[in-house]
Amino acid sequence: MKELSRTIKYVYEDGKEAAPSFTDSAKFTRILKVNVVTKAIVEKGPWTSQDDVIKGQTSPDIKGYVADKASVADVKVTADSAKPADEVVTYKKVEVPPTPTPTPEPKPTPTPEPKPEPKPEPKPVPPTPAPVPNKQVPNKPVEPKVPGTTALPNTGEKSSSAAVLGLGIVATLAGVSLIKPRLKEED
């Protein structure tokens, strides 16, 4: 049997332990054929393992400190691999800036505003009544120059299809111009 292991150590900057260390390993085995009489190894089988990964882990949180590595990654190994190097995670104290004490802003002292001197008001002038014009009543109502019925001149047409067509085109263009901005807003 062959075993490869790795330890992750958690320390403060001064080297003291910050959290318990974490160790994981991968074990490899192989079958050997041995001569029963001579006890000599006749044949070596290939190395096999149930798990060929040495696990890593996330660095633990320690209040007031920050780790130089947030986590340590897994390592895949074989029986012929060299022993993986141990990992060290160092915790550094978080510098808390001093809380600034607010300096009160000086409040301006109120200065009294000078009061304007009262101005003498002019005396109102009494209004004079406007003259009323004399109404003149006409003796006789005005009669129109052309006697007869009021009617529009006859142009000779019963209906104007050109006017109806023009009105339809104007209505269509107005409708399209109102719908087009809405379509742009919806896009």
Question: Which CATH number covers residue 77?
Answer: 2.60.40.4300
pLDDT digit string, tens, across residues 38-52: 989 899 999 898 888
- Answer yes or no: is 64 within a domain: yes
- Taking 80 as the threshold, does the pLDDT of residue 60 lie above it? yes
- Answer yes or no: is 86 within a domain: yes
Count the domains in the chain. Answer: 1
pLDDT digit string, tens, across residues 81-127: 888 899 999 999 998 777 777 777 777 777 767 676 667 676 776 77
Residues near 30 by beta carbon (within 8 Å), at least 6 away in sequence? 44, 45, 46, 47, 48, 79
- Answer yes or no: is 186 within a domain: no
- Answer yes or no: is 142 within a domain: no
The pTM (predicted TM-score) of the whole model is 0.49
- Answer yes or no: is 59 within a domain: yes
- Answer yes or no: is 49 within a domain: yes
Do residues 54 and 81 lie in contact, with contact meaning Cβ atoms separated by under 8 Å? Answer: no
Q: Which helix (H) or strand (E) holds 167?
A: helix 161-186
- Taking 60 as the threshold, does the pLDDT of residue 147 lie above it? no
Can you give the residue range of the structural domain that contains 37? 2-93
- Answer yes or no: is 43 within a domain: yes
pLDDT band at residue 146 using 50, 70 and 90 as cut-offs: low
pLDDT of residue 102: 74
